[in-house]
Chain A
Amino acid sequence: MTKVQLKGVRKEFGAFTAISQIDLEIASGELVALLGPSGCGKTTTLRMMAGLEVPTLGQILFDDEDVSEVRVQDRNVGMVFQRYALFPHMTVEKNVMFGLKVRGTPSDEIKRRLEEILDVVQLDQFRHRFPAQLSGGQMQRVAIARTLITNPSVLMMDEPLANLDTKLRGEMRRFIRDLQQRLGITTVFVTHDQVEAMELADRVAVIFNGELAQYDAPDALYQRPNSIEIADFMGASNIFKAQITGGIARTAFGDLQLDQTVCQVRDGSGHVLLRAEAIDLLLSDADADQNLIAGKVTGREFFGATVNYTVDCNGEAITVNEQSRRMVDVGQDVWLTIQPQRIWVIQNPV
C-alpha cells in the first residue's frame, strides 16, 4: 500500500521536452490509467515512476518519501511490459523466480512464494514450459506473477490489454481488476486506448503534449470532459458550437434547455456535447416536451446490439446511438430529444 505523488515533474531529452510539468497524486491502493495519444509523454511518466528515467525537475514521492534519485533496483516497483519481456531462455518457473533469485532470497522461501503465486495466476501446469510455448494471455499472467512475487510497492503496466484479442481482453480485465483489489496494490498503467482506460481504471489521468489535461473518474471524464480535445479523444461525436444565454444554448438546429445544476455555464460562446446514447429518436413530435430537434435520417450503421443513426438537423449531422430493438429507415423524418441534465457544455476558461 503506497501513495504515489508527482510534484512539478519535468523531463527533457536534450532539446526535446517530453513532460513540461505534471502534478499527480495516486492514492494508496488505487488503479490509475495514464491516457493519451502516442508521444504525449505518458510512457515517460511511467518510466520515471519506475526509475528507468530520472526527472529533470520536480520530485517523485512514494508515501511522502522522495524517491526521484533512488536506483531502479532499489525502488521496489513492478513493471509489466507491453510485450511482457519474458526471458525466452528460462522456463515459466525460472522467469517467475528471477526477481527473488537476484535479491538473494533463501531458496525455501522462494519455493514457498513460487507455489503461492503460481496458484494465484493459475499457471501451475505450465511451470516447465518456455515462454514461446504459451498463449498471449498466459504470457501476460507469467509477467504479472514474475512482478508480484517480489511484493512491489507499486505495480506498473504498459498497455496491459493492447496485445490481446477481444475475448481474452475481457478475461484479463477481470483478472487484473480482481487481483488488484484482492492485493490492494497501487497500480498505474499506460494506454492510448480510452476504452482500455475506462474499463480498468478507478481514475484516469489524461495527458496531452506533456501536460496533465484532466484527472477524473472514467464516467466523469466521459460525461463531463473539460475541453473539446478531451471530449474528442474520449470518442464524443456530437460537439456543436452554441451561444449560451440564461441557461439556454442556441445552436444551428434549435435551442436547448440546459440543467444549471449539472453544468455551471456563463453567458457567451461555447460548445455543447450531446452523447450519442443520451439522445432519444422519436418518430412523431407528440411524445416529447422539451429540447425537440427535427431532422432526417441520412445514414445507418448496424453493430448488432446497437445501431448508429446519422440525423441531419438543419445542416448539422447528429449521431444517435440506440439499442437495435427497431430499425428506422434512411430518409425518414424524425425528431430528436435530449434531457437537459444529459447536456454538457464546454466553455473556454475565463
Chain B
Amino acid sequence: MARRQMKSALNTRLSSFQKIYLLLIAGFILGPFIPLIIQSFAFRWAWPDMLPSTWWLEQRDRSILPLAWDYVLSPYSRVWEATLNTVFIGTVVTAICLAICLPAARVLAREKFKGKAAFEFFLSMPLIVPEAAIGISLLMIFIKLGLAGSYLGIIIVHLIPTIPYMIRMLTAVYQGLGRDFEEQAMILGASKWQVMRLVTLPMLLPGVVAGALFTFLVSTNIFLLTFFMGQGQIITLPTLLFSKIAGGTLDASAAGITLVVTIPGIILLLITERFIKEEAFGKGFGN
C-alpha cells in the first residue's frame, strides 16, 4: 500500500521535461528493436526504402510463414540447437559459479586477512583484461589439453568473466547478513544444517537470485570466448548470430535470430523480478 502511494506521489511530481526524458530513454532502449521486428515480417526491404517494398502478407501464397520465421523455425537455421546449447551452458555456468562464489563471498565479507585488498583487486582483473587476450591465451592451453571445442572448455571460460560479478554481488549480500542471525539461530537450538537451511539461505536468496540471473545473462551473451572455445563445433545463439551477419547481409532471417536471442533474458527477467520484489524483502533486512 505504502509503496503504491509513494509511486503515485512520484508520478504527480514528474515535470513534462522529465517525462520527455523518460520517453527518450525508453526510445533508445526499445527503438533498435523496431526495424528488427519490421525486417522479420518483410518480404523484400531494400535500400533506400523507409519501409519494406513487399510485405510477407502480400506474398502469402509463396510462403506460409514470414520468410524470417520460416527460416528460424526450420532445422537448417540450427536456432533450436543453439538455444539449447546456450541455455544448457548458461545453467551449468551459473550453478558452478554459485558453488564457487558463495563460500568465497562469505569469507570476503566476514573475515579480515593479510592481502585482502590486493586479493579483491585481483578478483576484478578479468573485467579489466581484454577478452580477446584471455581467449587466445586460454585457447592455446585448451587445445593442448584437448578441451577446445568441448562443452567443458566453454563452461570454464564462461566462469572467468562471471565470477568477479557474482563474488561482488554475494559479498554485498553477506555483508548485509550479520553473524547475529546465524548465532541467534544456534542459540535457539538449531543445528548447523538447520541454520543453513532455515536462516542463511532464505536470507541470501534475493541476492543469490539476482547474482544467478546476472551470471546467466552474461554467459548467454558471451560471443568471443565462446567463439574461440567452441571452434565452430558448439554453436550458441551469439555465435550463430555472428556467423549469420558476418558476411554483411542483414536480411530477414538475421533479424529473426536476433529477436530469438533476446528471448531467454526477457523471460528470466520477468520470472525473477517478481521474486526479488517479495514484500518481506522489499524493505531491507528489518533493522
Q: State the interface size on chain A (CB cutoff 8 A).
A: 27
Interface assignment of B186: CB less than 8 Å from any CB of chain A: yes
Interface assignment of B287: CB less than 8 Å from any CB of chain A: yes
A145 CB to closest chain B CB (Å) equals 12
Q: Are B198 and A98 in contact (CB under 8 A)?
A: yes
Q: Are B187 and A50 in contact (CB under 8 A)?
A: yes
Residues of A within 8 A of B194 (CB): 102
Q: Are A132 and B183 in contact (CB under 8 A)?
A: no
B189 CB to closest chain A CB (Å) equals 5
Q: Are B183 and A102 in contact (CB under 8 A)?
A: no
A81-135 contacts to B, CB under 8 A, are 81, 83, 85-89, 98-99, 102-103, 130-132
Query: Assuming the A-B contacts A102-B194, A132-B283, are A85 and B181 also in contact, with contact meaning beta carbons closer than 8 angstroms in the complex?
Result: yes
Q: Are B188 and A88 in contact (CB under 8 A)?
A: no
Q: Are A73 and B189 in contact (CB under 8 A)?
A: yes
Q: Secondary structure of the B side of the interface?
A: helix
Residues of A within 8 A of B191 (CB): 73, 102
Interface assignment of B275: CB less than 8 Å from any CB of chain A: no
Q: Are A89 and B183 in contact (CB under 8 A)?
A: no
Give the interface centre of A50, A52, A87, A146 by most chain B CB atoms within 10 Å.
A87
Residues of B within 8 A of A147 (CB): 187-188
Residues of A within 8 A of B183 (CB): 52, 72, 79, 81, 85
Give Cα distance in the complex from A139 to B285, angstroms: 13
Residues of B within 8 A of A98 (CB): 185, 188, 190, 198
Residues of A within 8 A of B181 (CB): 85, 87
Q: Are A150 and B188 in contact (CB under 8 A)?
A: yes
Query: Assuming the A-B contacts A85-B181, A89-B280, are A132 and B286 also in contact, with contact meaning beta carbons closer than 8 angstroms in the complex?
Result: yes
Q: Which listed residue (B187, B189, B190, B203) contacts A88, Cβ 8 A?
A: B203
Q: Are B187 and A77 in contact (CB under 8 A)?
A: yes
B178 CB to closest chain A CB (Å) equals 7
Residues of A within 8 A of B280 (CB): 88-89, 130, 132
Q: Are B189 and A102 in contact (CB under 8 A)?
A: yes
Residues of B within 8 A of A87 (CB): 181, 185, 198-199, 202-203
Interface assignment of A78: CB less than 8 Å from any CB of chain B: yes
CB 8 Å contact bits of A207-241 with B (1 = contact, 0 = none): 00000000000000000000000000000000000
Residues of B within 8 A of A103 (CB): 189
Residues of B within 8 A of A78 (CB): 187
Give Cα distance in the complex from A292 to B183, angstroms: 58
Query: Assuming the A-B contacts A73-B191, A83-B180, A130-B279, are A88 and B186 also in contact, with contact meaning beta carbons closer than 8 angstroms in the complex?
Result: no
Q: Are A73 and B190 in contact (CB under 8 A)?
A: yes
Give Cα distance in the complex from A51 to B180, angstroms: 14
Q: Beyond A130-B286, A132-B283, A132-B284, list 6 extra A-B contacts (CB 8 Å).
A: A83-B287, A87-B202, A88-B286, A89-B205, A99-B189, A103-B189
**Residues of A in contact with B (beta carbons under 8 Å apart):** 50-52, 72-73, 76-79, 81, 83, 85-89, 98-99, 102-103, 130-132, 139, 146-147, 150
